[in-house]
Chains A and B, each alone.
Chain A
């Protein structure tokens, strides 16, 4: 069975600074995808960034980038130039590239950006 672990329940960062959120996962499969989702307070989950396991190149989306270490089964999210609007719960998710494509989520990291 696949598992996802987020070991940082809470983090804070000063506005304009850089922060890295950690995620590790466990699987014996090779075909899978990894995601970071953002869940602002009382608002719906929004996709932040997506990584295909077969791609060695790390995904980037504006201020968001990942460090994907397949051998180590690590998938961290780096947020550069943090903004107050980045304050949210961040969930790491794993999905196999076949079957139902159901997500397996970590327990989340609550990020607070300080003014």
Chain B
């Protein structure tokens, strides 16, 4: 396994700008998750993909957030019209279809700072 990768690792943007993050899961993992982690808190679930289908979205995911996973490979998370409250670490995780299917493997995260 080469591990879950995320890009960029850090993003600083001004309020009102759009940002997009990318996640590349472990190659044989068909399930992909996005979480948001704010300072002093544990990660909170945002959304989930099985292959290319987005099967669940949290109420945390406002209309300004959109996620895609074209062709069931990498995923992108876009935030439009960023607000200071969007500042957080955005984590991606993936899990496999067989074996310990309950276990998720996390990427290093993208830390977003909105000025």
Contact = CB atoms under 8 A, between A and B. Distances in A.
A106 B106 contact: no
B91 interface: yes
B101 interface: yes
Interface in B84-115: 91, 93, 95, 100-109
Contacts of A102: 33, 45, 48, 56
B31 interface: yes
Interface in A57-103: 91, 93, 95, 97, 100-103
B42 A106 contact: yes
Nearest to A101: B102
Contacts of A108: 40-42
Interface residues of A, number: 24
A46 to B, nearest CB: 8
A46 B108 CA distance: 10
A105 B60 CA distance: 15
Nearest first, the 6 A-B pairs at minimum CB distance are A105-B42, A45-B106, A44-B108, A102-B45, A33-B102, A100-B48
Interface of B: 4, 31, 33, 35, 40-45, 48, 55-56, 91, 93, 95, 100-109
